[in-house]
């Protein structure tokens, strides 16, 4: 799913066209639909955290702790698994042959270029050649969740966007941009009785290994997008990318 990240410098007429395209993208985002199933884990630094055998005091759910096999900072939002998984909107999808579907929404049959979505812990409902792109319509069944995958079974949804689209969404008030600092993680660990030193080590390791530049309550900025998440339909490549809380920007129609 690689794409060419060498986007040429835009001339003034193209800049205007690009701004119009971003406005169209925002309209498309508002027309998309997230699963009706309840959220089982939150985005980014707000991921559920709790000691083994205890519950996150904010959500009443089990959560990450220093002994967990997964990472403390969450790139997506998890929904309780409900079959079938349906296409969030009109667009194109690509199955990676493992447990992930990439989805790029479209407008009047043309894929938008400012964002892409990733649905994980899934199995396809029909045979599709991995690595090929297929058109889908909003609400069309595209997969079932993988009952043998992540426990408890859930659908992980994340969204990657260009910095320009992030800025437009921030200006529109969809994103708050509240900075999350290392001290905030320490306070969170202490409040939940999690070993602060080990929690700090795990957070710092993820920041370093993933190339995280900045963390906000509803956005995580990375130096680039992993190669397996790049698509030929988007501008998302080797440049800085914003991973957004999909629940803040999708579906208000």
Q: Are the C-beta atoms of residues 182 and 46 closer than 8 Å to each other?
A: no
Both structure tokens of 240: 């800085």
233 confidence band (pLDDT: 50, 70, 90) = confident
What residue segments make up the domains of the chain, in order of their start? 19-249
The pLDDT of residue 6 is above 60: no
Degrees, nearest 5: CA angle 75-249-47: 30
> What per-residue confidence (pLDDT) applies to 129?
80
> What per-residue confidence (pLDDT) applies to 8?
30
pTM value is 0.89
| pLDDT, tens digit (0-9, with 9 covering 90-100), for 120-170 | 999 877 667 888 899 999 999 999 888 776 677 899 999 999 999 999 999
Mean of per-residue pLDDT scores for the chain? 87
61 closest CA partner among 46, 44, 81, 83: 46
128 vs 71, more confident: 71
Q: Is the peptide bond preceding residue 84 cis, with omega within 30 degrees of 0?
A: yes
The pLDDT of residue 2 is above 50: no
The pLDDT of residue 211 is above 80: yes
How far is 61 from 40, CA to CA, in rounded Å?
8
pLDDT > 70 in the chain, percent: 89
Q: At a CB cut-off of 8 Å and minimum separation 6, what does 163 contact?
A: 221, 239, 240, 241, 242
Write out the DSSP string of 5-18: --PPPPPHHHHHHH
Both structure tokens of 75: 């790139």
175 closest CA partner among 207, 214, 204: 214
| pLDDT, tens digit (0-9, with 9 covering 90-100), for 76-132 | 999 998 999 999 999 999 998 889 999 999 988 888 989 999 999 998 776 678 888
234 confidence band (pLDDT: 50, 70, 90) = confident
16 confidence band (pLDDT: 50, 70, 90) = low
Degrees, nearest 5: CA angle 45-207-222: 85
> What per-residue confidence (pLDDT) applies to 115?
94
- Supply φ then ψ for residue 22, to 5 degrees: -65, -40
- Scan for tokens 């884990």, then name that residue: 41
235 confidence band (pLDDT: 50, 70, 90) = confident
Structural Rg of the chain based on CA atoms:
18
Both structure tokens of 219: 């956005």
Mean pLDDT throughout 52-66?
Answer: 93
């Amino acid at each position: 799913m690689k794409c060419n990240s060498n986007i040429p410098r835009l001339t003034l007429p193209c800049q205007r066209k690009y701004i119009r395209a971003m406005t169209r993208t925002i309209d498309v985002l508002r027309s998309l639909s997230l699963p009706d199933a309840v959220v089982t884990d939150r985005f980014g630094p707000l991921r559920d955290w709790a000691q083994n055998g205890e519950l996150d005091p904010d959500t009443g759910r089990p959560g990450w702790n220093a002994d967990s096999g997964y990472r403390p900072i969450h790139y997506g939002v998890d929904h309780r698994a409900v079959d079938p998984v349906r296409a969030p909107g009109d667009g194109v999808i690509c199955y990676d042959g493992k447990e992930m579907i990439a989805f790029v929404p479209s407008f009047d049959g043309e894929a938008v270029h400012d964002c892409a979505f990733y649905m994980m812990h899934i199995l396809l409902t029909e045979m599709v050649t991995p690595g090929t792109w297929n058109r889908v319509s909003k609400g069309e069944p595209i997969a079932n969740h993988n009952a043998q995958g992540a426990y408890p079974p859930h659908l992980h949804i994340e969204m990657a966007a260009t910095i320009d689209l992030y800025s437009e969404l921030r200006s529109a008030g969809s994103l708050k941009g509240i900075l999350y600092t290392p001290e905030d993680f320490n306070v969170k660990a202490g409040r939940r009785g999690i070993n602060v030193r080990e929690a700090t080590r795990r957070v710092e390791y993820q920041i370093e290994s993933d190339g995280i530049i900045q963390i906000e309550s509803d956005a995580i900025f990375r130096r680039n997008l992993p190669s397996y998440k790049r698509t030929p339909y988007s501008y998302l490549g080797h440049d800085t990318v914003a991973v957004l809380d999909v629940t803040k920007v999708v579906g208000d129609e």
